[in-house]
Structure 1
Amino acid sequence: MRNRYLYITLLSILAWHAEAQGQAGTRQVPRLVVNVTVDQLRSDLLDLYAPAFSSREGLQKLLAEGLVFENARYPFADVDRASAISSVVTGTTPFYHTITGNQWIDRQSLRPVSPTPGDMAASTIGDELKRATQGQGKVFAVAPTKEVAMLAAGHTADGTVWNDTPKKGWTAADITDRALRCMTDHALGQDSIADLLLLTYDASSNDRQTYIQLDQEIARLLQQTEAQVGKDQALFLITSTGYTEEKRADLERFNIPAGTFYINRTANLLNMYFGGLWGQGKYVEAHFKNQLYISRQLIDNKRITTNEVLQRAKEFLLQMSGVKAVENHLYEAHTGDLVIELNPGWQIENEDTHEQSPVKTQLAYFPIIIYGSGIMSETIKTPVSIERIAPSIAKAIRIRAPNACKSEPLF
């Protein structure tokens, strides 16, 4: 009897396993993938404001019925909106896709420039969809700013939509309106070839009303997308840009250690220090936020090795108040030769322009949520990287992942 019981149990397990494999192997390719990135979405505020949400058809629906990875992260420092969006759509880090920030210094003009898809050194998930379908799969992006829309869309998108009147900022309702109009006007998800819609919302104000409206608009997006495309034909992926900008006043009010690092003063002091060593000259030819740019022509003329310059600069900078670490990024695209990491709570100020860079903090945790198109509800606490979003989309629509992506899909 015991052997017979074990035999029956084994057959049951094998049958279940075969059925599960069969279901996974025959999962329907979604006609439309909607990839949503919410700038500065925070899990703690999502939990805090959830009781005020008017329905359970938006964010709460996603959390209850989706595949939820609670502990997502960006595997690099100095995350901002542009570097985050670029990392989501390429499945890799700025080291490979080279979009290091919302702006950087152009080496020729020594002036700040904003990124374009032409600056991106890796393919995006939209690019790979275009390649796989010989251009038939449609790719559109909607975002509050031109740079974000274009970066999300990639190199070969059919169209981008952004707010061209910055004085009047877009709300979550504006994003949803334009996303739904884009779906209708371009017949997204209406044939057997997968389409991709990339949306960027803004939750940077961190207030209750912003989260309430975001919840309402996500609910409207879900309902109308499923109505147009079909509930099982749409796949949604939602995540955050993974950082937040802290209010300096809050730090000072509660006696949390904070300070100001003056980047132009630092550049002048470093030039004076180098002048004492090797003679006068503008060794630091430019600075931008927490980055310093060394004049390569000057040090070549003075026959000084770059390694010596960078090492002496690092030793000098580490003695300054607020400096936690200094990294060398010589010859890396779109970044300074020296990148300064400050202590928590410190901000950077340019005394000449009085421009202040807000205190940015990487979030302790934020979610990646996958919903629709046969996805089973589950909550996973194991930490995961946002690099896995692009290959997950690629697997779902059966195309190759972006060419610099080395990560595994999430499902």
Structure 2
Amino acid sequence: MKNKFALWISAGLGILFTSTALANKPKLIVQITIDQLRGDLLQRYESNFVESRNKLGFNRFLKNGTLYTNSHYRHASTLTAVGHATLATGALPSQHGLVANNWFDVEANSRMYCVADADTSLVGAEGYSASPANLTASTFSDQLYLASSGKAKVVSVSIKDRGAVLTGGHFGKSFWFDKKTGNMVTSTYYYDELPEWVSSFNSSGAKDQYLGQSWALSLNEDKYHNDSGNRLYQIPPKGFGKGFPHTMPKDASPRYYDLLTNTPFGDKLTMEFAKAAVTNEKLGDDDVTDYLAISFSVNDYVGHKFGPNSLEAEDNLLALDKTIAELFKFLDKKIGMENVLVALSADHGVDAIPEYKKSIGFNGFRGNASQELEEFNSTLSEKFGVEGKLIEEVIPPNLYLNHSLIKAKNLDYGDVAKAVQSFASKLNGVSRALTSEALSTTNLQFDPVLSRVQNNYMQGRSGDIVLLQNPSTMLGNYSAATHGSPYRYDTHVPLYFTGWRVTPRREARLTSPEDLAVTLSAVMSIGYPDKATGKVLEEIVK
């Protein structure tokens, strides 16, 4: 599979496999992605981050780094897979193929998970596997690997499989956390069996060191910027209550491992595994630049369940500050931070819990588009005189029509699509409903919001009808707070750099996470990812 991708990309781009032996280049590039980290949050909490010179975490960026403070995604479905793929490829979803975390595969007549791959098997546990098979663009790490004739080592780690797989690209080695066993796992796309060092890590007891421990506030409550005002509207994970402390189970079990991902302990375990990867894979240890991608997932789990305005959300970032400081201390001792270029961003932002927003005088709405559309399905069938569902699947914001039924009954596809569009546009919380025809044939780039919907559209993966929700609106009930809209609270993320040759400065001009991949390529003087649309950040390239 990897060889096929190598042949395709080399034929399509005419890449020369030249050496990237270190000549004024960093020894290691570390790309940190913090799931659900809205662009204003690190500066909001800056006063409570560690300031000790030898223990700098986020303050290494905030005090000593180059910060692009006005960085926004240019796509609508601000979701984990979509953001990670854009960071990795520098491309829009319409090009890299990851239009959502899940979509409907019309040919297979089933849902497709973003990194699912039935042709591979999980290694290290039992369960479904993952690979970058659905990623239709090359990544920065692919370009680094190709330009070095395969000498550059590429490793990606995360709790979430999609957080690791997509940043690892087509040639990296990706590892993620299995919630049933607590093991760090991979798939046969990468390895036939776990590397010995990964097996050793899994058996070391690291995953069980938090049994019976409590997550308590690290500061007095009056020191926090957030408060307990949104507690009424939280939906904590089963086993945790509303309010501190949150105590872990005393016995190792799937319940314990799942709760681990909802506490700062999960990010700490991710960091410890990343350190083991640096040591055992010898990253930054020779004259070829290596690449390490770390996606910290806990912020997303906590944000969904407790909301971004909670004490939990703020305290988790204070804990992550210390975790990242420990990582930097390790890298400084191992490689020297002057030899490590670190980039930090997020896959998407987040909005507050809608009920909490309403309680303090803001707009906020929680709807149930799936239920409303399911009820409409019978009316639609009656209208066209058929039995069966004409709306095959609803995965907001995408609505998929039943093409087989439409064809079998000789219905006019356009008539069915218009009927669904007309109803969907009147759904509670929906601003507009756009047809696939409009998204594929009409230029919507004049409108800042509609352009993001169009940038997210890919024929064959996006819906026949795509919903655009109103601001501060949730179209489903699966969590307390969420993201996924084309609005500023979801598109705004940090884009920060520190380490190798980076000087302190803040830039407020409009940038995009698409800019990261091409900037790293420019730093390395190698080819850009094949479908990248980002712009080089000249302050980072010297």
Pairwise TM-score range, normalised by the shorter structure: 0.7 to 0.9
CA contact (8 A) 2:140 2:529 kept: yes
Distance 1:247 1:402 in 2: 37
Any stretches of 5+ residues in structure 2 without a counterpart?
1-21, 116-131, 183-256, 303-307, 438-457
Distance 1:160 1:289 in 2: 29
Distance 2:61 2:533 in 1: 27
Kindly indicate whether residue 459 of structure 2 is the aligned counterpart of residue 332 of structure 1.
yes
- Does the residue aligned with 1:101 lie in a helix, a strand or coil? coil
Distance 2:478 2:60 in 1: 41
Distance 2:87 2:147 in 1: 19
CA deviation profile, 1:302-341 (whole Å, cap 9, x unmatched): 3334333323322232233322011223671332211212
- Does the residue aligned with 1:118 lie in a helix, a strand or coil? coil
Quick one: which amino acid aligns to residue 406 of structure 1?
A: T
Instruction: Choose 325-334 or 28-37, whichever is displaced more.
Output: 325-334
CA contact (8 A) 1:179 1:199 kept: yes
- Does the residue aligned with 1:171 lie in a helix, a strand or coil? helix
Equivalent position to 1:383, from 481, 491, 510: 510
Work out which of the two has the higher radius of gyration on C-alpha atoms and give 1 or 2.
1
- Does the residue aligned with 2:40 lie in a helix, a strand or coil? helix
Which residue in 2 is equivalent to 1:152? 167
Number of residue equivalences: 382
- Does the residue aligned with 1:119 lie in a helix, a strand or coil? coil
How many angstroms does 1:257 deviate by? Answer: 4.0
- Does the residue aligned with 1:177 lie in a helix, a strand or coil? helix
Task: Normalising by structure 2, report the TM-score.
Answer: 0.66
RMSD, matched Cα:
2.4
Distance 2:92 2:528 in 1: 14
Distance 1:370 1:355 in 2: 34
CA deviation profile, 1:227-246 (whole Å, cap 9, x unmatched): 21123321000012222153
CA deviation profile, 1:16-45 (whole Å, cap 9, x unmatched): xxxxxxxxxx98111100001111113433
CA deviation profile, 1:192-220 (whole Å, cap 9, x unmatched): 11100001113233422111111112222
Distance 1:86 1:132 in 2: 20
Which residue in 2 is equivalent to 1:8? none
Q: Among the aligned pairs, what percent are the same residue?
A: 21
Which residue in 1 is equivalent to 2:141? 126
Which residue in 1 is equivalent to 2:158? 143
Kindly indicate whether residue 318 of structure 2 is the aligned counterpart of residue 318 of structure 1.
no
Distance 1:252 1:142 in 2: 38
Which residue in 1 is equivalent to 2:11? none
Equivalent position to 1:199, from 270, 279, 294: 294
Which residue in 2 is equivalent to 1:244? 350
Which residue in 1 is equivalent to 2:379? 272
- Does the residue aligned with 2:468 lie in a helix, a strand or coil? strand
Distance 2:478 2:364 in 1: 21
Distance 1:51 1:67 in 2: 18
Quick one: which amino acid aligns to residue 415 of structure 2?
A: E
CA deviation profile, 1:156-209 (whole Å, cap 9, x unmatched): 113424344351325322222111111111110111111000011132334221
Which residue in 2 is equivalent to 1:30? 26
How many angstroms does 1:65 deviate by? Answer: 1.4
CA contact (8 A) 2:106 2:460 kept: no
Which residue in 2 is equivalent to 1:23? none
Equivalent position to 1:393, from 516, 520, 529: 520
Instruction: Choose 81-90 or 170-179, whichever is displaced more.
Output: 170-179
Distance 2:156 2:296 in 1: 11
Distance 1:259 1:391 in 2: 38
**Structure 1 pair 102–40 and aligned structure 2 pair: CA distance change class (3 A):** same
Quick one: which amino acid aligns to residue 24 of structure 2?
A: Q
Equivalent position to 1:188, from 269, 280, 283: 283
Alignment of 1:51-130 (within 5 A): 51-56=47-52, 57-116=56-115, 117-130=132-145
How many angstroms does 1:363 deviate by? Answer: 4.5
Instruction: Choose 357-366 or 61-70, whichever is displaced more.
Output: 357-366
Equivalent position to 1:291, from 381, 384, 398: 398
Distance 1:355 1:143 in 2: 23
**Structure 1 pair 161–260 and aligned structure 2 pair: CA distance change class (3 A):** closer
**Structure 1 pair 358–211 and aligned structure 2 pair: CA distance change class (3 A):** closer
Larger strand fraction of residues: 1
Distance 1:295 1:110 in 2: 9
CA contact (8 A) 1:53 1:212 kept: yes
Quick one: which amino acid aligns to residue 40 of structure 2?
A: D
**Structure 1 pair 391–248 and aligned structure 2 pair: CA distance change class (3 A):** same
How many angstroms does 1:112 deviate by? Answer: 3.1
